[in-house]
Amino acid sequence: VTTDYDQLADRYDEDRAGFSVAPDDIVVELASSPRPTRVLDLGCGTGTWLAAQQARTVGSGVTLLGADPSTAMLAVAHGKGIANLMRAGAEQLPIPDSTIDYVVANFTFHHWQKERSLNEVRRVLRADHAVFRINNIEPEKTLGSWLYQCFPETVAIDAERFWPTPRIAEELEARGFVVDVRRESTTVDVHASQALAAAERRVISQLANLDEDAYARGLARLRSAARSHGSVFTTTSATVRVTARRV
């Protein structure tokens, strides 16, 4: 299953408007390093994370780079004044061996050809103390959300696309990384009308990938729930941060 982000790029930032980018401890550490360092946002999309780091690394020796296979997502990033963007997937990076200090992958790992990409990440990272971090959702922990409840076909699609976190950790350890896993979860009541508005925007890849009949059935479920006054979905958002260090 692949998602055509060229078709979603013009609506992507609007859909994520409520999200903020938390400070990144690895970037903070690198920004205080006396030597020049290079950070790659892999699957950088519209450059939201890079824009936040730009502000936080002014005057430091950190060079920020972004890579993404979607021309339209990169065009949005470029429009934000982000430099050093390259059109590339994680499977084949136009970057020399051992030249990156930190690779971060935000909400993108499920789109990758994973074994090949992990080898590529390892190739571009410096051998000593470099870091690879994956930030993502854990679908299996959010099965009660409106998305999986109203669009049940997305459960199987995500089971195929996402590796369970223990598998990610294993594959990284097999490539010589020391791995740390942190989880966060928050549970909120999402009103059916809010869920419906998000589903109608159809920006998240689960819905973008869904066939038209399954999508229409899910919208009908949500519209019916939105008509029942006070109908809410108790929705857990479960994120995981996997930090892998080369030692």
Ligand X SMILES: C[S@@+](CC[C@H](N)C(=O)[O-])C[C@H]1O[C@@H](n2cnc3c(N)ncnc32)[C@H](O)[C@@H]1O
Residue 224 forms beta bridges with which residues? none
- DSSP letters, 92-105, are S-SS-TT-BSEEEE
- Which of the stretches 54-62, 107-115, 139-147, 164-172 binds ligand X when contact is defined by CB under 6 A? 107-115
Closest residue to ligand X, judged by C-beta, is 45
Rounded Cα gap, residues 162 and 139, in angstroms = 8
> Is residue 5 near ligand X by the rule CB under 6 A?
yes
Contact between residue 157 and residue 210 where contact means Cβ atoms under 8 Å apart = yes
> Is residue 73 near ligand X by the rule CB under 6 A?
yes
**Shortest spacing between CB 82 and ligand X, in angstroms:** 12
Could you tell me the CA-to-CA distances from 195 to 2, 3, 41, 55 in Å, in that order? Answer: 24, 21, 29, 33
Q: Kindly write out the interface string for residues 26-45 of this chain, putting x where it contacts ligand X by CB under 6 A and - elsewhere.
A: ----------------xxxx
> Is residue 106 near ligand X by the rule CB under 6 A?
yes
Helix (H, G, I), strand (E, B) or coil at 159: helix
Rounded Cα gap, residues 68 and 116, in angstroms = 16
Rounded Cα gap, residues 111 and 212, in angstroms = 21
- Residue with smaller CB distance to ligand X, 38 or 161: 161
Query: In sequence order, what are the residues at sequence separation of 6 or more whose Cβ sits closer than 8 angstroms to the Cβ of residue 91?
Result: 112, 113, 116, 117, 120
- Which of the stretches 22-30, 64-72, 77-85, 154-162 binds ligand X when contact is defined by CB under 6 A? 64-72
Total number of residues that touch ligand X (CB under 6 A): 19
- Residue with smaller CB distance to ligand X, 24 or 192: 24
- Residue with smaller CB distance to ligand X, 121 or 192: 121
**Inter-helix orientation angle 212-227/192-201, to 10°:** 150
User: Pick from 107, 162, 177, 215: which binds ligand X (CB under 6 A)?
Assistant: 107
**Could you say which residues in the range 112-141 bind ligand X, by CB under 6 A?**
112
**Shortest spacing between CB 69 and ligand X, in angstroms:** 5
Positions that interact with ligand X (CB under 6 A): 5, 42-45, 48-49, 68-70, 73, 89-91, 106-108, 111-112
